[in-house]
């Protein structure tokens, strides 16, 4: 299948700190789209947003670092206004990937204050919705574009905690419903599940049992390869509204991780038929 180049395209990757989001930005830079990376955290002495921007530029892209408090709707609105102004109204790729409360793994819902639901899903689900609204307003006039919401298998089975799973399930449904409302605009909106990804933040924060669980998984670099391949696909609108998984993308595009391995995820692969059924019901026909 011939792939269109991404040269000159504008991408916004939310939450682009130096873990999975950094890799998402960096891999798209290999096709040279100007990429704005929005950061909300400088915790754990991980490389900063500014270093991420430098890496994008070093990979022959144009990295533009934008510090933005993802929990503040006004800052998000200003971010998209800035893109509108600086890029002449152009946005080609939006990746909703900011998240908070990663360290709350394994805590029972009844052992936490009810406010934890807002903490988990404010920066995630709620702000993904807001970014999708503003992002859609930029991509619709051009009659093309890609919006990706990074979700996970936590929307299918139990993972981390109740609030996390509810939020991820809602992200999947949001992608499907928004895709229905974008069908006449030729804009592709998908929910993307990666396999187990041992990011730097996970390695720093999760309990030992979870670190061991993530160790055999995909590299964070592979996440960027997946989104870049999808963005290049001239037939990506046929996938709009769907839940796509990294194992499925491996088969579709022949992707290989930077380690030289072909990533697999037995859990997601075991549920391929279930996801196929969900996509048939939810996604635009």
CA distance 268 to 152: 10
At residue 34, the pLDDT reads: 55
Quickly count: other Cβ atoms within 10 Å of residue 11's Cβ: 27
Q: Token pair of 19, please?
A: 């873990």
What is the block-wise mean pLDDT of the chain (285 residues), using blocks of 10 residues? 69 68 45 50 53 78 82 92 94 89 74 91 94 97 95 90 94 98 97 76 54 65 90 96 95 90 83 95 93
pLDDT at position 3 is 55
Closest to 30 measured CA to CA, from 57, 67, 51, 52: 57
Label the pairing between strands 93-96 and 62-67: unpaired
pLDDT of residue 55: 79
Instruction: Look up residue 43 and give its DSSP letter.
Output: G
Q: Which of 72, 249, 73 is nearest to 148 (CA)?
A: 249
Alpha helices (runs of H) in the chain, residue ranges in sequence order: 20-29, 49-58, 73-86, 116-121, 127-139, 162-181, 200-205, 208-214, 220-232, 246-253, 266-270, 272-282
CATH class assigned to 11-282: alpha beta
Q: Tell me the catalytic residues.
A: 164
pLDDT of residue 275: 96
Give the start-to-end residue ranges of the domains of the chain. Answer: 11-282
What the block records as the tokens of 21 is: 């989001």
């Amino acid at each position: 299948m011939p792939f269109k180049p991404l040269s000159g395209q504008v991408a916004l990757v939310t939450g682009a700190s130096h873990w999975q989001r950094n890799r998402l930005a960096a891999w798209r830079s290999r096709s040279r789209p100007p990429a704005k990376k929005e950061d909300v955290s400088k915790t754990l002495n991980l490389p900063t947003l500014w270093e991420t921007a430098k890496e994008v530029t070093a990979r022959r892209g144009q990295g533009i670092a934008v510090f933005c408090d993802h929990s503040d709707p006004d800052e998000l609105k200003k971010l998209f206004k800035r893109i509108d102004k600086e890029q002449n109204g152009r946005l080609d790729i939006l990746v909703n990937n900011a998240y908070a409360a990663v360290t709350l793994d394994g805590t029972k819902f009844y052992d936490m204050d009810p406010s934890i639901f807002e903490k988990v899903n404010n920066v995630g689900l709620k702000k993904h919705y807001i970014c999708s609204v503003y992002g859609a307003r930029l991509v619709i006039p051009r009659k093309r574009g890609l919006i990706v919401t990074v979700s996970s298998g936590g929307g299918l089975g139990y993972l981390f905690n109740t609030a996390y799973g509810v939020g991820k399930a809602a992200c999947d449904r949001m992608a499907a419903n928004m895709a229905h409302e974008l069908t006449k605009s030729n804009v592709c909106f998908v929910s993307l599940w990666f396999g187990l990804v041992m990011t730097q933040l996970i390695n720093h924060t999760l309990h030992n049992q979870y670190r061991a669980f993530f160790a055999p998984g995909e590299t964070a670099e592979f996440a960027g390869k997946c989104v870049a391949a999808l963005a290049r696909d001239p037939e990506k609108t046929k996938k709009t509204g769907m839940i796509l998984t990294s194992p499925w993308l491996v088969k579709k595009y022949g992707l290989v991780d930077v380690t030289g391995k072909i990533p697999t995820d037995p859990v997601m692969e075991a549920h391929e038929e279930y996801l196929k059924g969900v996509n048939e019901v939810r996604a635009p026909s």
